[in-house]
Chains A and B, each alone.
Chain A
Amino acid sequence: MSHWIILPVVLPAMLAPIIGFMMRHDIVLARVTSTLGSVLLVAISFVLVSMAMDGTTHIYRLGDWPAPFGIVLVLDRLSALMVLLTSVLALMVLLHAMATGWDDRGKHFHALFQFQLMGICGAFLTGDIFNLFVFFEILLIASYGLMIHSGGRERMRAGLQYVVMNLAGSTLFLFALGTLYASTGTLNIADLAAKIPDIPADEAGLVRVAAMLLMIVFAVKAALFPVQFWLPATYANAPAPVAALFAIMTKVGAYAILRVHTVVFGPGVAGTEGMIDAWLFPAAVVTIALGAFGVLGAKRLMPLISFSVIGSMGTLLIAVAVFSPVATTAALYYMVHSTFAAACLFLIADLVVSRRSGDSLTPTFATAQNGLFAAIFFAAAIAMAGMPPLSGFLGKLLVLDALRGPDVIVWAWTAILVGSLLTIVGFARAGSALFWKSTAIPAPTSDMSAAIPNNNATVLQVAPVMLTLAVLVALSVFAGPVAAYLEQTSNQLFDRSGYISAVLAPVAEG
């Protein structure tokens, strides 16, 4: 039993209170510690990926209680991938937040940031569904703090909506867990996966209710229609680096759907056969449409990017909804891509918006370094909309290729292709208003523009954006090896008996 598995949870959990209590008045010390922690987390997640690479499912028994009696952490290829994704994204977001001074505009940014990482990593690693609820709450309570970081009227009110929405979601989660426990007597994912197929279809009513309730809860997190409405207000009003970090939060919902609805209620389970995909697929189609029309109709930059995130979640979940290894491979590739594409868009938007008066999509005078920002925005928009040569194109291609079944092809291809077209038009409109038409407007006299800093961005401020773009380029250059790893990942995910026997294996003596 290797102790590496618990480190992504323990390290941020130790750092956060130290930063919160001992470095609350010293922003430099907090920055150094937080950066150190994030770098270490990246290193740890590389170790975890190399451990998971050989295909064994590693188990960490907390307190050495064997599953299903104790809580276990499970490290397989999927969780290792998600932890790596989280840690790399977090490091870039943290660098951006420090370079632009966002972390100094309110108290406790770094402590909340570490708690957020703890919750996200824990949610990816846990093998117990009640423990998943607890880690959800940890990442949510940290995200409430980050969401309203540095305050402001609109942000507080949007934050309130976000909190209410998620508290209602948590209550549903508990109802689902209660129903599940009452009908199966266990909450360990592997044990559930072993027991639920034995329940005959005509006695599985309660299990079906629980599966659907869980589906709704995860759909709230993943911003799936009809519970996607919280996302634009939240992301558009959150501080931009926090919105970039939240790019991983929607993926937590997608991961939970993948894990729970594949392993526990997956294909071949008599009680829930065909029920999940029957709902997930149309919801994902509508989500894509909503995202595309939102991008087309947005009047401000931040809501525009938020709607493009909704659209990408729809594309991701339409591939998940098929519940086949090939489609899941495509979904995973698109998940990695869309996380960094969304983060890149939010970070570049922050650099632009902080040099303009507000983020409305109306031409004002050109900001400093208009050309550089325009080029980065252009590249990020290409990635998000799914145009070649960046990884968005490959991701959508994989998704389209996986969705060639006769019963899904019409809806899926129409939604993805038309959605992509609308997204491209929306981004082109926004880019031309922000960067192109602005060059025609002369800069105002100095006393007017004094309120808004319009200086050149430093290298440190541009570097995190460039890093996210570099990840996208690397994803498209190394698409072959990455897709090979992801294919093994989804095969491992669909190997339910392997997961069950690994988690429920009797403890070796000594």
Chain B
Amino acid sequence: MELLVASAIGTMTAGGVYLLLRLRTFPVILGLALLSYAVNVFLFSSGRLAIDMSPILSKYGEASYTDPLPQALVLTAIVISFGMTAVLVMISLGAFLESDTDSIDIDQADTDEDAAK
């Protein structure tokens, strides 16, 4: 299971980094989403992987439990990355509508032209 989770995180990170390095907004957004999935799974596994264990102490027995803190952390991280992705989509839409291009780079020619105005 460790191998499966680790390679899943690795694959998602690799894909995310590759997409992040594209110069168009849509692949970049997808890349950041992939990266945030990878980091969520990574955070989740930072409390060690365990099967069939609840994240609460049982007061009726000696049943072992899994660390609840990474689950709380990952919940926070999911909410934040979800919100941030929404903001990113809106801002890139705004930039696209303003400039008619979805390229992330700002051309030097554009900047000079703006400075000259």
Range class of the B interface residue count: 35 or more
CA distance A137 to B84 in the complex (A): 9
Question: Do B106 and A157 touch (CB < 8 A)?
Answer: yes
Within 8 A of B (CB), among A156-185: 156-161, 163-164, 167-168, 170-171, 174-175, 177-179, 181-182
CA distance A182 to B73 in the complex (A): 12
**At the interface, is chain A mostly helix, strand, loop or mixed?**
helix
Is A153 part of the binding interface, using a Cβ–Cβ cutoff of 8 Å? yes
| Residues in chain B near residue A167, CB distance under 8 A | 32, 84, 88
Is A141 part of the binding interface, using a Cβ–Cβ cutoff of 8 Å? yes
CA distance A137 to B69 in the complex (A): 20
| Residues in chain B near residue A148, CB distance under 8 A | 91, 94
Question: Do B35 and A171 touch (CB < 8 A)?
Answer: yes
Is A277 part of the binding interface, using a Cβ–Cβ cutoff of 8 Å? no
Within 8 A of A (CB), among B29-50: 32, 35-36, 39, 42-43, 45-48
Question: Do A164 and B28 touch (CB < 8 A)?
Answer: yes
| Residues in chain B near residue A233, CB distance under 8 A | 106
Is A144 part of the binding interface, using a Cβ–Cβ cutoff of 8 Å? yes
| Residues in chain B near residue A157, CB distance under 8 A | 95, 98-99, 106
B48: nearest chain-A partner, CB-CB: A182
| Residues in chain A near residue B45, CB distance under 8 A | 178, 182
Question: Do A178 and B39 touch (CB < 8 A)?
Answer: yes
* Given A170-B84, A178-B42, A178-B46, also A144-B111 (CB < 8 A): no
Question: Do B80 and A153 touch (CB < 8 A)?
Answer: no
CA distance A56 to B14 in the complex (A): 47
Is B62 part of the binding interface, using a Cβ–Cβ cutoff of 8 Å? no
| Residues in chain B near residue A151, CB distance under 8 A | 94, 98
A159: nearest chain-B partner, CB-CB: B91
* Given A156-B95, A179-B46, A181-B69, also A164-B32 (CB < 8 A): yes
- A159: contacting residue among B77, B95, B117, CB under 8 A: B95
Could you write out 16 A-B pairs with CB less than 8 Å apart?
A130-B76, A141-B87, A154-B106, A157-B99, A160-B88, A160-B91, A160-B92, A163-B88, A170-B80, A170-B84, A171-B36, A178-B39, A178-B70, A178-B73, A179-B46, A233-B106
B contact residues vs A (CB 8 Å cutoff): 20, 25, 28, 32, 35-36, 39, 42-43, 45-48, 69-70, 73, 76-77, 80-81, 83-84, 87-88, 91-92, 94-95, 98-99, 104, 106, 110-111, 114-117
Q: In the A-B complex, list the 9 residue pairs whose CB atoms are closest, starting with the nearest.
A: A182-B46, A156-B95, A178-B46, A174-B39, A153-B98, A178-B43, A360-B115, A160-B95, A156-B98
